[in-house]
Amino acid sequence: MVGLAIAPVAFQTTESDGTVAVIPLSGGITGGTSSSVGSMLEQARENPDIDAVVIVANSGGGSAAASEELYLQAKRTAQEMPVVASVDASAASGAYYTIAPSDVIYAKPASLVGSVGVLANAPQSVEPNEFIGTTGSNKLSGFDDRGFYYLLENLGNSFYNAVETQRGDRLELSRGELAQAKIYSGTQAVENGMADRIGGRQAAVTAAAEEAGLENYEVRTLRPRGETVFLSRNNYLAADAPNGQMVSSDYFMNTDDNSPTFLMLPASYLGNDGEAVEPTTSVNATRTTTPPATTAEVRP
Amino acid sequence: MSNRLGASGWATRLLATGLAAAVVVAVAAGGAVLAGQGDSPPDDPLAIPEYQPENVSVDYVGAEGEISPDNDVTTGSGTVVIDDGHGNRFDRSTIEPLVRGLTRVGYTVEFYRSGDLADALDDAKAFVIIDPAREYRQGDVDDVRQFTGQGGRLLIAGEPNRVSVSASLFGTSIQRQDSALTTLGSAYGVSIGTAYLSNQESADANYKFIRTQPTDAAELGGVEETTMYTAGAVRMRGGETLLRTAPGTLESSTDDERGRHAVAVRRNDVVVTGDKTFMQEDRFRVADNEVFLTYLVEFLASSERDPDRSISSESEEEDENGTPDGNVTTATSAYTGDVD
């Protein structure tokens, strides 16, 4: 009888103060990723039981537009509750963009962090030609050569601004250094202010709970709906998302179309079958296939 | 450096959220990137100042103007030979503005493709070399030296190393391209860097498309700023810097060699540029490129070459100027073009 009387009291004392939601950001960032991860961030904001969010990043980035959407979602969430990021294998380019609004970014020594920038296949000069009629001189290519680089720089500036705004004084890289788009190890990232602390997922969860003032808390891992695709084999091996599927760079590059695809991911991810290749020129190699025997200069 | 907020820190952050706009303005006032809030009210949680056009857009470098050489400066008529015999990498769009300027002042243009270079230069007033793929043999070097020794004008437009992607029905291939100017360049004490110059802040949109300015001593007919597209640094013994990069320009092969690099240098009858793209059809009007190209046209078309003049006279002149005479980049260096 005594035990029965005490038991509810004991239950009361161990009851959770709230919930830390863990949101995985895994694989290449596409419109689908933006939709699924974005919906999880939205759910975290709307669910009164969730007090803090941990974004576990394991992605090399992807589509520029999708990455921007995720940045906005993460920023909005961070305005309403503590958001802490944990970098697993990598948070490069668009993935780093996504976690930039986090209050604290944890990385492991072997995590890859950075690659702040945009790349895109340059438009080919295809006009005038005798096969397709257009109403305007840039209808086929979309840009002239200089116009393309101005557009690319605008996308880059948005990215740099976002990182500088979110990291503030913690960032010890100048604009020029940031824009070089280097990839750093987790240790280097903590040193240069791209990340805050060395640690893994558990440390991030603990920090998020502390930020939210939770002593006893539940950890609820939200899962993306649908299938997750991976561009990088390294990320695939380290990720725990279900239905992981490897894709080649063509998945992002849309090689059937001449129009530029703006990507926020390291160029080394753009090899076929997800295997890393060194020069960026491979991107253009797949694109410079218009007339036979033409030569395009791509300067290193 | 870390942003440890803690429980109390988070409360502080919540209080500070409403002041975020003021913080952003303060940051902007301190010289950071963001300059304004756009149309969003200061306490709007959906405000995205980092995306506002005024904080993102890149100032467009204007592209207008035409080559307008002064007939009073030029020597009336003559022939300019363009080298096409050393695998030179250029097409019509590269040279058309230059040719247009030369024909305006009554000059004709011929190509050297093979045979005795001395014969090809026999009646020429000026010689133009653009991005050769093959080195000059010693005989060719001697011919060019004799030509400039007689007062012939020489324009060399080199490039840093590049990677060429070739596509054909049989697939794609990647080749490295060098400007083969070692033997000829060494005869004139000039070298062009193999690494491209980059500047993230002073550029025509892209970090490899750098803005360049004339030195105070250079008389380029009113050039205030030009642009060069993947240029190499030019270093020349005893030369005068015509154009140099903005401060903080990085030579890509180095981590910290930032400074002002010469990209166009002149010594007597020789001008060397570290880029050829600035003169091509879709770039020669950007900034004051057309004014600089006008200078080059006038330089080529004001040759007073005397075929009877011996090469020794130029050698004597070179000895006199072999010291840093005319070196406006550094007063103590033997080379014009050392990083300033």
Name, of B126-130, B305-309, B332-336, the range with top average pLDDT. B126-130
Asked whether the beta carbons of A25 and A55 are under 8 A apart, the reply is yes
Q: Do B166 and A293 touch (CB under 8 A)?
A: yes
Work out the pLDDT band at A242, boundaries 50, 70, 90. low
**CA closest to A147 among chain B residues:** B205
Q: The pTM is what? A: 0.79
Angle between helices B289-300 and B92-104 (to 10 degrees): 60
pLDDT tens digits, residue range A188-241? 999 999 999 999 999 999 999 999 999 999 999 987 666 667 777 666 666 666
Which residue type, as a one-letter code, is found at position A158? S
Chain A to chain B Cβ contacts (< 8 Å): 150
Cα gap A149→A145, rounded to integer Å: 7
Alpha carbons within 13 angstroms on the beta-carbon side of residue B261 total 28
**CA closest to B60 among chain A residues:** A150
Using a CB–CB cutoff of 8 Å, tell me whether B60 touches chain A.
yes
Mean pLDDT of the A87-112 span: 97
Its ipTM equals 0.79
Task: Examine the pLDDT at A55 and tell me if it is beyond 70.
Answer: yes
Mean pLDDT of the B26-33 span: 33
Please list, in sequence order, all residues whose beta carbon lies within 8 angstroms of the beta carbon of residue B316, skipping any fewer than 6 positions away: none
Task: Examine the pLDDT at A128 and tell me if it is beyond 50.
Answer: yes
Using a CB–CB cutoff of 8 Å, tell me whether B34 touches chain A.
yes
Residues of A in contact with B165 (CB under 8 A): 281, 284-285, 288, 295-298
pLDDT tens digits, residue range A243-256? 677 777 677 776 56
Q: Do A300 and B200 touch (CB under 8 A)?
A: no
Nearest to A167 by CA among A82, A96, A73: A96
Cβ atoms within 10 Å of A272's Cβ, excluding its own: 11
pLDDT tens digits, residue range B247-280? 999 998 776 668 999 999 999 999 999 999 999 9
Mean pLDDT of the B13-19 span: 36
Closest chain A C-alpha to B164 CA, distance in angstroms: 5
The pLDDT value recorded for residue B155 is: 98
Cα gap B160→B158, rounded to integer Å: 7
Q: Do B13 and A103 touch (CB under 8 A)?
A: yes
Residues of A in contact with B32 (CB under 8 A): 164
Chain B, window 151-170: residues with a beta carbon less than 8 angstroms from a chain A beta carbon: 160-169
pLDDT tens digits, residue range B115-141? 999 999 999 999 999 999 999 999 999
Task: Examine the pLDDT at B7 and tell me if it is beyond 50.
Answer: no
Residues of A in contact with B209 (CB under 8 A): 149
Cβ atoms within 10 Å of B109's Cβ, excluding its own: 16
Q: Do A157 and B252 touch (CB under 8 A)?
A: no
CB-CB: which of A160, A190, A285 is closest to B174?
A285
Chain B, window 196-235: residues with a beta carbon less than 8 angstroms from a chain A beta carbon: 196, 200-201, 204-209, 230
